[in-house]
Amino acid sequence: MICDDSRMIKRRVYHVLILSLFLVSPLLSADNLYDGFKNPPMSVRPIIRWNWDANSPGEQEIISWLEAFKKAGFGGVEISIFEDVNAQTLKLAADAAKKRGMIVDLSLGSTLGGSFISPAEQGLQITISKKKFTGPTNSVVNVNDLIKVPDPNNKLVFLRLIRTDALSFLPGEELIGKIRPDGTVVIDINDANTHTLYAGVLHPVTTPAGSPVLDLLNKQAAEKYFSNISAKLNPMPGSKFGDSIHSIECPSFEPAVVNWTSDFPQQFLKRYGYDIIPYLPAVLDNDLPLARTRFYDNIRRVRYDFYSALVGLYHERFTNTFKNFCRDNGVLPRIPAGPVNILDSCSVPLDMFQGGIPGAGANMRYRTWDKIASSAAHLVDKSLVIGESTVGNTENIESLKINDDIAFVAGDNQSILAGVSLPGERNPVWPYIGSWTERNARLSYLFQNARNQARIAILCPAADLWSDCGPSEARMADHIWYLFPLWQAFSQNGYTVDFVSDKIVSQANIDDGKLHFGSQTYEAVIVPDVFSIEDFLAVRNLRFYCVKGGKIAFIGREPLTSAGFKELLQRSVAVDITMRHTKGIDPNQVLFIPAPDKDKDNLLSWTSDMMKKISVLPTVRISPPSDKLLFTHYLAEGRDIFFFANTDNTTPVSFLADFNTVGKTPWVWNPDTGKRDKFTHSDKSGVLNISIKQGDSLLLVFEPDTKTKPAKPKNN
């Protein structure tokens, strides 16, 4: 009996302990955000690009490399495949990666090419050559010397003489029908003006290796191409290779490379109601001087329509085909960002957002395409933004880390590493790559599970860039010199920004003097040198935004006209009248500011002065601001997350940072170690004294302080 009582007592104590654990468990629950940061899962780890040449690697080679990749901390591989890829070998690699918890992405290369592409499916390009004449003159020109076309597959599509110093555009004279049997043509000019003879040659496009490039403007060609790829990649009839493959990357569309297709003239006429042929020579002439004449105004409008038609056909015939192909095979589609995304409403019309190639364009500083892609992701509430990190054999792990930090500030939150030699090959980075992958994965996890907090909207002058520059990234970067570095100048002054388009502004909601789109809220709109408007309803919404208390800064030129020729009069008059009304609004809300002078103004201080005039306080008051410092702001689970990056690998940066984070305690989360500690360097007012070593960064997480009552907000 005594024994039975003791058993009963023990049983009751056991039940009480079990019940206590259930009651206390919420109090002992893990900090999921920090735990994921400290030990990031495979899904957020960086991907390494793995180039397969024409000879796919063998089974043992695949296994050993995958083991090395996983040991180095990568969460998967992006395999760049060639035309003769072996489907069985690819499946072997995908299955082996899956067993190791890794993903496999595919890259179809920098261009879509292959020997199976027929001449009717091959991409086409029109290139021009030209010769200037000043009349009066009677000259004989050898056409073959002018165009220098030895290939019989190339075709002369126009030989047009245009007066290029005219005040208004005139179609000029088509001279193909006047070429004499000996290949010469007579240029007869009776006036004293400047004329240009344009020769346009249509030729098929090939890859650097000489294979035909796919016509991205031909739907049937795209469908056949992906059908061929599907057959090559699928070893099992009727199966979906999405069971093994995570995503597929296609190269971005380059209208400077493929700028024609067989039915383009008919499609252009259908869209815009006029013939593109007479304008083509001047539209493709990138050397025409910018001038405020009707001649140049006509050309820039046609150029806008021309590239808009190309991009429209590209999305209708290729992007949708690619999306359907990926959907049918259970994989995600990816296309890197580029100039097309500026023309296409600053958005990427796919399920995954990916930045551009680092360093694209002559002056494309600090990953502008990544910033545009991440802005689009914020606007449509997508949590994943993929960026490419590139390192050469002459670089070190420190330079990779700096590039990584800049990418995170630009909005990337998962990385694909390219340019690193494989294990066993000579590369100074590989011995230290494990420390980079751990750090990268921790930051990726944190930013993927937080919401970006952009407060300023920059209206991208997309129509002007395409009208004046065409698809050239270098020309875009030089055309408005401060446009692409502007987001960094805001960041250096303690502001967070997104790029937006006319379409976004025209569809945004306005409330409490703020612009709302999706989950994003903007307290001010910056309009940098916008002269032509794609969607004239955006101007109307900007005016309404000002009336409701919003703040706008028009920099340099102000919107005056519509883009292109479509409904020119109606849309341009609407822009002009609306802007006149906007100018009558309170000058404290609507500012007209001269553009910064490249030779005189420091963009950092110029941006600071502008924001003082517009009276919008920064997210973080940085004193003194530094052009070496970038920052970004996220919010997760009531925590404010601030990431600062010193982009200078030679000099530390020190500053005071005043945060409006009342009732929260700053902690340093170390992405190198996964540890966290309270930040203690602050004065009595709560201003933090921060110093960041050269090429280093600082991650501050402001935790809600539940032990003390929130202090009263400081008066700003």
Q: Quick check: 556 pLDDT over 50?
A: yes
Looking at residue 470, the DSSP 8-state letter turns out to be T
Residue 235 is predicted with a pLDDT of 59
Q: Out of 397-406, 507-516, 633-642, which region has the weakest mean confidence (pLDDT)? A: 397-406
In this predicted model, what pLDDT tens digit does every residue of 372-389 receive, in sequence order? 989 989 998 888 999 988
- List the alpha helices (DSSP H) in 551-709: 568-582, 603-614
| φ/ψ of residue 46, rounded to 5 | -65, 155
Q: Is the dihedral of CA 67, 71, 352, 406 positive or negative?
A: negative
Lowest-confidence pick of 247-261, 392-406, 642-656: 392-406
> Higher model confidence: residue 391 or residue 186?
186
Mean per-residue pLDDT of the chain = 87
Residue among 432, 421, 418 at smallest CA distance from 393: 421
Q: Residue 554: what pLDDT?
A: 96
Phi/psi of residue 172, nearest 5 degrees: 80, -160
Helix, strand, or coil here: 70? helix
* pLDDT, position 445: 98
* Rounded Cα–Cα distance for residues 130 and 280 (Å): 13
Nearest to 131 by CA among 281, 254, 323, 21: 281
Encode 399-417 in three state secondary structure: HHHHHHHHHHHHCCCEEEE
Instruction: Tell me the C-alpha distance between 401 and 204, whole Å.
Output: 41
Tens of pLDDT along 465-487? Answer: 999 999 988 888 889 999 999 99
Residue 462 has pLDDT above 80, yes or no: yes
Mind listing the pLDDT tens digit for each residue in 164-177?
A: 999 899 999 999 99
Which stretch of 343-347, 470-474, 554-558, 682-686 has the lowest confidence by average pLDDT? 343-347
3-state secondary structure 179-221: CCCCCEEEEEECCCCEEEEEEEEEEECECCCCCEEECCCCHHH
What is the length of the chain? 716
pLDDT at 241: 75
Cβ-proximal residues to 575 (8 Å cutoff; 6+ apart), any chain: 533, 536, 539, 559, 560, 561, 562
Kindly report whether the peptide bond that precedes residue 624 is cis, defined as omega within 30 degrees of 0. yes
Burial class (CB in 10 A: 0-12, 13-18, 19+), 223: middle
160-166 mean pLDDT: 93
Q: Which residue has the tokens 């609004």?
A: 585
Residue 412: both structure tokens together: 């990337």
Across residues 84-105, what is the average pLDDT?
Answer: 88
pLDDT for the residue 422: 62
> Quick one: 233 exposed, middle or buried, by C-beta within 10 A (0-12, 13-18, 19+)?
buried
Count the neighbouring beta carbons within 10 Å of the beta carbon of residue 502. 27
Mean of pLDDT values over 62-86: 89
CA distance 569 to 558: 18
What pLDDT does residue 8 have?
Answer: 46
Residue 519 has pLDDT above 50, yes or no: yes
| Average pLDDT rounded to a whole number, residues 443-451 | 97
| Residue 676 φ/ψ, nearest 5 degrees | -135, 145
**pTM (two decimals):** 0.90
CA distance 702 to 704: 7
State the pLDDT at residue 88: 83
Give me the amino acid identity at 220: Q
Q: What is the pLDDT of residue 12?
A: 53
pLDDT in tens, 599-631: 999 999 999 999 999 999 999 999 999 999 999
**Quick one: average pLDDT of 300-321?**
94
Quote the Cα angle for 399-400-401, to 5°: 90
Structure tokens at 24: 């206390």
Pair 57, 65: CB distance under 8 Å? yes
SS3 689: strand
- Cβ proximity of 184 and 280 under 8 Å: no
Q: Quote the DSSP letter at residue 166.
A: -
- Interval 15-55: pLDDT, tens: 444 444 444 434 344 699 999 999 999 999 999 998 886 66
Is pLDDT at 293 greater than 80 in this prediction? yes
